[in-house]
């Protein structure tokens, strides 16, 4: 079930089905700002997925 890694809040509605359709092995997602807060970085060339708030 797709969910935010930090808040543990599951995605609902369209975002649930949208993220589920990609078949990721691990269903955890972060925002760009959450990655920065963790002191991590995003690999060059990585793709993002837009979700609806």
Nearest to 13 by CA among 44, 51, 48: 51
> Per the confidence metrics, is the pTM higher than 0.85?
no
Give the pLDDT of residue 12. Answer: 94
Give the pLDDT of residue 20. Answer: 94
| Residues in the chain with pLDDT values less than 50 | none
Q: Domain locations in the chain?
A: 1-53
DSSP letters along 29-51, please? E--HHHHHHTT----TT------
């Amino acid at each position: 079930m797709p969910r935010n890694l930090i808040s543990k809040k599951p995605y609902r509605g369209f975002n649930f089905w949208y993220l589920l359709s990609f078949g990721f092995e691990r269903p955890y997602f972060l925002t760009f700002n959450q990655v920065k807060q963790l002191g991590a970085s995003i690999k060059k060339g990585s793709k993002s997925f837009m979700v609806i708030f």
